[in-house]
Amino acid sequence: MPYIQSGDVKLHYRDSGEGYPLLFGHGFFMDSEMFAPQLRALNPTHRVLAWDAREHGDTEAPDTPFTYWDQAGDALGLLDALELPSAVIGGMSQGGFIALRMALLAPERVRALILIDTEAHPCSAPDRDSYRALFAQWGLCGPVADLAVPLAGQLIGEPALEQVWIDRWRARTGRSIQLAARCLLDREDIREQIAAITCPTLLIRGSEDRAIAAERMDFLSEAMPNATEVVTIAGAAHAPNLTHPGPVNDAISSFLHEHRI
């Protein structure tokens, strides 16, 4: 499996195809495997990469607190190690939190953004309370059915795939998610900053997403100067690129073609 060293992080990534690079970051509790449909579909025309965030997948990182700004630095370090001066940066949920910060930190490295079920808002107080309770139980009990089944339903929303990911979570029992949880729950509000992001931006949302409210993605469409209207994927939950890859890949391909990328 390919790894690069980005600072003190041994970062695992997937790499497929040739052409202008697309780099995808996954959501919380997921890993780079969730972008397998994009690696398969888009690699005839583009080099498609996906990476594992800290405390997810096969990436190895120090046991110290971190932020989404730090993880934006991790992803920029991956571009450096692969000698890629720029890329289209994609992200689902927390991967989008990171992508937005990459565009703020290094706009010259971000040719365009693909944001899937994500937001610039901070975690709301009710969500913070409910997720903190979930993470505490997960830390004590691991991915037992009472926790994993409802979570998989919210994140994925397709029974056959839900079991695949529950099995992946159970295979990783014993690995901590507490620092990643702190990063998620304590993320700051960047709504006032995103008007500075001027690159072309594709927005995609599952119609049945219960994690990111529709109005939060509408805010991105209104606040970012070169963002599309939100492309809604009918019947999809929080991970449409995984559960409904056909319409998502079509939207991405059309966006790339429109911008001659």
Q: Is the dihedral of CA 81, 86, 92, 95 positive or negative?
A: positive
Helix-helix angle 125-141:178-185, to 10 degrees: 180
Amino acid at residue number 171: A
Per residue in 167-201, pLDDT (tens digit) is: 998 888 667 789 999 999 999 999 999 999 999 99
Q: Residue 29 in contact with residue 147, Cβ under 8 Å?
A: no
- Taking the C-alpha atoms of residue 26 and residue 64, their distance in angstroms, rounded to an integer, is 21
What pLDDT does 174 receive?
A: 63
Burial, 181: exposed, middle or buried (Cβ in 10 Å; 0-12, 13-18, 19+)? buried
Give me 13's structure tokens. Answer: 């990534």
- Taking the C-alpha atoms of residue 53 and residue 68, their distance in angstroms, rounded to an integer, is 10
Examine the pLDDT at 1 and tell me if it is beyond 80. no
Q: How many CB atoms lie within 10 A of CB 15?
A: 15
Per residue in 20-42, pLDDT (tens digit) is: 999 999 999 999 999 999 999 99
Per residue in 208-224, pLDDT (tens digit) is: 999 999 999 999 999 99
Burial, 71: exposed, middle or buried (Cβ in 10 Å; 0-12, 13-18, 19+)? buried
For 56-187, strand residue ranges (E) read 87-92, 110-116
Which 3 state secondary structure label does DSSP give 90? strand
Give me 103's structure tokens. Answer: 């565009």
Per residue in 51-107, pLDDT (tens digit) is: 999 999 999 999 999 999 999 999 999 999 999 999 999 999 999 999 999 999 999
CATH architecture of 3-123+189-258: 3-Layer(aba) Sandwich (3.40)
Domain parsing of the chain, residue ranges: 3-123+189-258
Rg of the chain over Cα atoms, rounded to whole angstroms, equals 17
What pLDDT does 140 receive?
A: 82
Residue 35 gets which letter from DSSP? G
User: Which of 137-141, 160-164, 244-248 has maximum average pLDDT?
Assistant: 244-248
Share of the chain above pLDDT 70, in %: 98
- The mean pLDDT value of the chain amounts to 95
Q: 7 versus 46: which is more confidently predicted?
A: 46
Cα dihedral 183, 35, 92, 98, rounded to 10, equals 50
What pLDDT does 54 receive?
A: 96
For 103-123, give one letter per residue: b (16+ CB within 10 A) or e. Answer: bbebeebbbbbbbbbbbbbeb
- In terms of DSSP bridges, do strands 9-16 and 47-51 run parallel, antiparallel, or are they unpaired? antiparallel
- Taking the C-alpha atoms of residue 136 and residue 132, their distance in angstroms, rounded to an integer, is 6
* Residue 22, φ and ψ in degrees, nearest 5: -120, 130
Which 3 state secondary structure label does DSSP give 177? coil
Residue 61 gets which letter from DSSP? -
Amino acid at residue number 15: D
